Amino acid sequence: MATNAAEPNPTGTPRTRPNQSPRTPSSRRTQSSRTPSDRPTHSSAPSSSNPNSAAYTSTSSYTKDLSWETSVSSRTSLSSLRGTLSESPHIYNISEIRAATNNFLAKRYSTSSSSASTAACWRCNLRGHDTVVFQRKFRRKIETSELKERLSVICRSHHMSIIRLLGASISGDHIYLVYEFIEGSNLVDCLRNPRNPSFTVLSTWMSRMQIATDLAHGLDYVHNKTGLNLSIVHNHIKSSSIIITEPSFNAKICHFGTAQLCGEADENGTQEIGSSKRETKIEEVTEDGQAANLRKLKRSNSGERQFEGVRGYMSPEFRSTGIATQKSDVFAFGVVVLELLSGEEPLKYRYDKKSGDFVRTSVTETAAAVVAQGREAVRRWIDRRLNDSFPVEVAEKLIRLTLDCVHVDQDKRPDMGRVAGKISKLYLDSRIWFDNMKIPTGISVSLAPR
């Protein structure tokens, strides 16, 4: 309509504005129907001697039209921006969760991310959003007011490498965490396909560097850059909790905020269950959900504490104390990156024919061994499905950095801010290597005999 108002009218023809214009009051519509002789001088009809002198509206009218167009574009920009921001957290009624999951009888969403520690999960539609609902059991009783406060704080956090938490619902001893659904596959399936072990979608060095960079910056955001007055611990870093999206193979971290909302960590970082017994039960949960009791520790002057972890990702201090800290997150991150570089499982057992026993091997031990042997050993250790096409110097530096992350002494592990900065530098070095390795364009190559 602003365009129509700026178009010239034929000479001698009175100019009128549409009556349905939303920005013109009724008095102006009456004035616009006047004859050219009744109009003010600044908007009079063009004369025959100079037909282009007043062919357009006056300066003031043009300014108003331009400002109207600007305001419309501004509203459009704000609307699109609002769609990318995190919404207010939802406190779902349990009846909504029951209706969306067919009273929890709907087919459960198949993902290795929902192990025994994660319990069940369903993909469903809640309030117009495609979501995934995780059912978890409270590790420590939390008041409803405290839960709402934590939920409102965590839902304000937003990062491109973190799957967004939309809200939660409470029913008895269980909490139902509602996350947005992200189309993709977890890192375990991308690295190790049981049907075709020789194939992987992550067949290039840059795809794996992209994942490592996304994970480092996402975990750095969780630890240091949420802008909250909280020391947030993720406590669920493992390859099955990382979703890889196409086509650029970006990584997104699942289960953000679970440790705080489920009561897995209190102010002291412990997971308290009761105070009647004086022994601690340490339980490991494998990728397929099978639990194995390791040992029982006798403690003096302590209540019963119970915690869960995934074999291969638990730091030494977490296995002995059950206290999840940011340093234990750094340890798990280092294991994931070593897994990403080698393509191997973090921990596995191989049968030794000579001794007749099963030999335990971990990716951290093999990585430390190859770094001590030199770059040739590093080349052989990196996943063979990369076809030996990667910068060996960058790979060696990355392995050394991840070995610092999995150091036995938690005080010697680096902060995630420092780790993210170094991995970004290695990503840029890899990008330079990749650009230099490209085949020049505009050159024809013939393999036929001359």
Measured in degrees and rounded to the nearest 5, phi and psi for residue 100 equal -70, -25
96-100, 115-119, 179-183 — which is least confidently predicted? 115-119
> Which residue would you say has higher pLDDT here, 309 or 256?
256
Domain 184-437 of CATH type 3.40.640.10:
no
Q: Are 341 and 383 in contact (CB under 8 A)?
A: yes
> Which residue would you say has higher pLDDT here, 335 or 247?
335
List of residues 6+ apart from 419 with CB closer than 8 A: 216, 220, 330, 333, 401, 405
> Which residue would you say has higher pLDDT here, 258 or 47?
258
Look at residue 297 and tell me whether its pLDDT is greater than 50. Answer: no
- Separation between Cα atoms, residue 251 and residue 241, nearest integer Å: 10
- ω before 247 within 30° of 0 (cis)? yes
pLDDT confidence of residue 149: 81
pLDDT confidence of residue 378: 95
Mean pLDDT for the chain overall: 76
pLDDT confidence of residue 316: 92
pLDDT confidence of residue 386: 95
pLDDT confidence of residue 287: 45
Q: Are 109 and 121 in contact (CB under 8 A)?
A: yes
Q: How confident is the model at residue 260 (pLDDT cuts 50, 70, 90)?
A: confident
Look at residue 66 and tell me whether its pLDDT is greater than 90. Answer: no
Q: Mean pLDDT: which of 77-81, 131-135, 359-363 is highest?
A: 131-135
Look at residue 10 and tell me whether its pLDDT is greater than 50. Answer: no
pLDDT confidence of residue 413: 97
Per-residue model confidence as pLDDT tens digits over 327-369: 999 999 999 999 999 999 998 887 777 887 888 889 999 999 9
Euclidean distance between the first and the last CA atom of the chain, given in angstroms as a whole number: 69
pLDDT confidence of residue 363: 94
pLDDT confidence of residue 161: 95
Measured in degrees and rounded to the nearest 5, phi and psi for residue 90 equal -100, 130
pLDDT confidence of residue 383: 95
Average pLDDT of 188-214? 93
Per-residue model confidence as pLDDT tens digits over 380-407: 999 999 999 999 999 999 999 999 999 9
List of residues 6+ apart from 414 with CB closer than 8 A: 330, 401, 404, 405
Q: How confident is the model at residue 73 (pLDDT cuts 50, 70, 90)?
A: low
Q: How confident is the model at residue 132 (pLDDT cuts 50, 70, 90)?
A: very high
Q: Is 273 exposed, middle or buried (0-12, 13-18, 19+ CB in 10 A)?
A: middle
Residue spans of alpha helices (H) in 256-357: 258-261, 316-321, 326-342
Percentage with pLDDT > 70 across the chain: 65
Exposure string over 25-41, b if 16+ CB within 10 A, otherwise e: eeeeeeebeeeeeeeee
- In this prediction the pTM is 0.70
Q: How confident is the model at residue 439 (pLDDT cuts 50, 70, 90)?
A: low
What's CA 54's distance to the chain center, in Å?
58
| 3-class secondary structure per residue, 330-352 | HHHHHHHHHHHHHCCCCEEEEEC
pLDDT confidence of residue 153: 80
Sorted by where each begins, the domain ranges of the chain are: 184-437
Percentage with pLDDT > 90 across the chain: 43
